[in-house]
Amino acid sequence: MTYPQTFGPDLQRNRLADFTNLQGPIKQSWRLITVKVYPPEKIRNVVLVGHNGAGKTTLAEALLYRAGAVTRQGTVEDGSTLLDYDDEEHKRGMSMSLAMSPFEWHDHKINLIDTPGYPDFIGDVHAGLRIADLAVFVVSAVDGVEVQTEKIWHLAAALGIPRMIFVNKLDKERASFDRTLAELRDRFGAGIAPLELPIGSEASFHGVADLLTDTAFVYDSGSAQKAAIPEEMEAREHEVHDNLVEGIVVADDQLLERYLEGDVPSLAELEKVMGVGVANATVFPVVCGSAIGPIAVDRLANFIVEIGPSPKISAKVSVTAGDEEVEIEGSPSGDPLAFVFKTIADPYVGQISMFRVLSGTLKPDMSLHNSRSGKDERLAKIAYLTGKESHLIDSIPAGDIGAVAKLSDTRTGDTLAPKNKPVTVNGIERPAPVLAAALVAKTQADEDKLATSLRRLIEEDSALELERNDETKQTLLHGMGELHLAITLEKLSRKFGVEVDTEDVRVPYRETVSRPAQAEGKFKKQSGGRGQFGVAFLKVEPLPRGEGFEFVDEIKGGSIPRQFIPAVEQGVRETMGRGGVHGYPVVDVRVRVYDGKYHAVDSSEMSFKMAGSIGFKAAMQDSGPIMLEPISRMEITVPSDYQGDVMGDLSSRRGQVQGTEAVANGMQRIIANVPTSEIMRYAVDLRSISHGWGSFKVQHDQYAELPAHLVAKVAQSVDEDD
């Protein structure tokens, strides 16, 4: 890749233009770039993952600096990073969304994808894993293997993603490579293969020993200098070197036979065999260094190029054509096919779609078919993204990653395919939202823009869900946690100028009856002209839970004319919907109309509708009205150590544990029925109880009678809302 040069506006106007000339989050760079097109085997798509604070973004900045892609290494502390460019990321000092930057290393192109480590933003981790060929886990040598690291590891394992590990922060106080390596082996089992050992510790850390070549690399002058292995660590280094070589050669029968005969394999042979193990996700190399140093960061880039899998290794892509699974060759000369893995909502540019090319070569002005929406999309301009800057390019081949602006009906997870071959690539599986906020627009102007603006944000972050609950009359925004929702509302204000307040999410209580009752509903009105007259005698009785509503016509002898019977039912239904004794919708009742009176002149549909309403209200008072609360079925997964604490907490929430079962990786699944009102903020509470390890799924199960001592409290809350 030839890196950007800056040109004046006159030349730029005659050549390539950026997505926009406005100063939005995706910013005008006025750069004309010449890009070397790399074949798939020379491309490495790498996603950095791990726990929040492990140093992923700092490592990304160090890699870009070592590659010469930036002139100085940005830091999270001063907000100068290329990849954390959002105002909220600067303010909070943490990554909140996926960002990427390509760079060249040893005649290869590395597409570096930086992801958030905070659990609220796990959706972007799913997106990064979906399109990467290698996941580099960044682990702090101070804090060891933390919660999110282990969770993402199991996610990557389920997806079959090749993995390697960079042990970071070895220059920090309390850093320990040996302790961290032991934790990695304990948590992740066989396959953990250290390729380096640190030279020095904490403040004296200044290099690494390469276990494949028995060579030291020291960084006393800033860049790597070859040196002999320090005498004090020679014995240990040779022992670990021998173990590593033996672990590699056992994967290749011919190499093993030669090794047993005393023929030591060459470095190229060892790297080739290890590369196969990495690609098959059976070997997980461990390297080490300091991103802030930066120490041994260049060696990480070397390993990515030398043993990291390329798109060509997994060139066949499984897609769906109709109801059939088919495979296509991921060749630059094949039919064009792209998968959209991330969408950015920019108030100036519009929607920007980030994609990976799975087959063929994409070019500006090309038209492709969106397999989901059924619409054709014109790729007016295509670009590489480097943080927030966009650089237009002439083409992008299979295996590479790019971006396009202003597609009319394309969102995250969509497939762009040839018009005559509407195939579909499997989408991105994302976790279900676990926390909701009820939104109230501050002004009418905010109300007018709220739905459209939220839809734009949901296009950017598919871990969000929007719901209009007609029963509670609330607009609910569902997300992955408190911070996720808070950041979304800040974006809503900053990007789109929409201000909202939040209120507690209301529980959809209901009412029913406990015993039969009957009453007369009489509506009589005389105002000088034609009057209104209607009488309906009703019987109300309970139905089994979940049966809803049943209306029975038992009129005989024409006491109510046939044409007015539906009006009686309508009056009952509307009254049930408006609420019973405590103001909540009434369910699970049977209403019989068994007698009535009418007037030949004054009776009408309206009079009998009112009679039905009045009669139902009167019967409801005498039918032993009770309140029903929604009950949720929960599946909570936690480590065994926290099982007792979680079950005790569920009991305090009036929950009933239905059973437990052991699942993978030493986890326990607890199945329980819990009142919905008791778990409105369970995502926050479970994170605290389980120290971040717990997860849960929840769905509505049934309605059950609300205990009598809670009825007054719930009824009071309704009066306060009114």
Reported as a single tens digit per residue, the pLDDT across 588-628 is 999 999 999 999 889 999 999 999 999 999 999 999 999 99
- Helices (H) and strands (E) in the chain — how many of each? 17, 39
Least confident of 30-34, 40-44, 711-715: 30-34
Average pLDDT over residues 298-303: 96
pLDDT at 2: 32
pLDDT at 34: 57
Which token pair is 342? Answer: 């991330």
CB atoms within 10 A of CB 233: 16
Residue 28 has pLDDT above 80, yes or no: no
Least confident of 215-224, 324-333, 576-585: 324-333
Q: Name the DSSP class of 229.
A: P
pLDDT at 621: 93
> Is residue 717 helix, strand or coil?
helix
Residue 22 has pLDDT above 70, yes or no: no
**pLDDT, tens digit, for every residue of 245-286?**
888 888 888 888 888 888 888 888 888 899 999 999 999 999
Cα gap 17→468, rounded to integer Å? 41
**pLDDT, tens digit, for every residue of 459-485?**
888 899 999 998 889 999 999 999 999
pLDDT at 722: 53
Average pLDDT over residues 427-455: 92
Q: Residue 422 phi/psi, 5° resolution?
A: -75, 65
pLDDT at 623: 95
pLDDT at 317: 63
Report the chain's mean pLDDT, rounded to a whole number.
89
pLDDT at 13: 28
pLDDT at 89: 85
Please give the domain boundaries of the chain with CATH numbers for all domains. Answer: 35-310 (3.40.50.300), 317-425 (2.40.30.10), 436-503 (3.30.70.870), 510-624 (3.30.230.10), 629-721 (3.30.70.240)
**Which residue has better confidence, 690 or 70?**
690
Long-range contacts of 677-682 (CB under 8 A, 24+ apart): 677/507, 677/629, 677/630, 678/653, 678/654, 679/632, 679/634, 679/653, 680/436, 680/504, 680/505, 680/507, 681/435, 682/434, 682/634
**Which residue has better confidence, 466 or 15?**
466
pLDDT at 316: 55
Cα gap 96→87, rounded to integer Å? 10
pLDDT at 419: 84
Enumerate residues 6+ apart whose C-beta is below 8 A from 378. Answer: 365, 366, 367
Which token pair is 616? Answer: 């139902």
CA angle in degrees (0–180, nearest 5) for 483-489-491: 100
Least confident of 98-112, 480-494, 672-686, 707-721: 707-721
Which token pair is 24? Answer: 């939005």
Q: Is residue 86 very low, low, confident or very high in pLDDT (cuts 50, 70, 90)? A: confident
Residue 201 has pLDDT above 50, yes or no: yes
Q: Is residue 134 very low, low, confident or very high in pLDDT (cuts 50, 70, 90)? A: very high
> At 510, which helix (H) or strand (E)?
strand 510-512
pLDDT at 88: 82
For helices 253-260 and 234-249, the axis angle rounded to 10 degrees is: 130
pLDDT at 513: 96
Cα gap 98→38, rounded to integer Å? 23
pLDDT at 292: 93
pLDDT at 657: 96
CA angle in degrees (0–180, nearest 5) for 462-83-281: 70
Q: Which of 23-32, 312-321, 427-436, 532-541 has the highest mean pLDDT?
A: 532-541
pLDDT at 434: 93
Largest CA distance in the chain: 117
Enumerate residues 6+ apart whose C-beta is below 8 A from 524. Answer: 531, 532, 533
Cα gap 194→210, rounded to integer Å? 10
**Which residue has better confidence, 1 or 603?**
603
* Percent of all residues in the chain with a pLDDT value above 90, rounded to a whole number: 69
Residue 424 has pLDDT above 50, yes or no: yes
Strands (DSSP E) found in 360-423: 361-362, 366-370, 376-379, 382-386, 389-393, 396-397, 401-405, 415-417
**pLDDT, tens digit, for every residue of 534-572?**
999 999 999 999 999 999 999 998 999 999 999 999 999
pLDDT at 303: 96
> Is residue 266 helix, strand or coil?
coil
Cα gap 133→156, rounded to integer Å? 11
- Amino acid letter for position 487: I
Q: Is residue 29 very low, low, confident or very high in pLDDT (cuts 50, 70, 90)? A: very low
pLDDT at 318: 61
> What is the chain's Cα-based Rg?
32
> Is residue 126 helix, strand or coil?
helix
Strands (DSSP E) found in 228-323: 284-288, 316-321
Cα gap 470→483, rounded to integer Å? 26
Enumerate residues 6+ apart whose C-beta is below 8 A from 621. Answer: 517, 519, 581
Cα gap 435→539, rounded to integer Å? 42
Cα gap 130→309, rounded to integer Å? 15
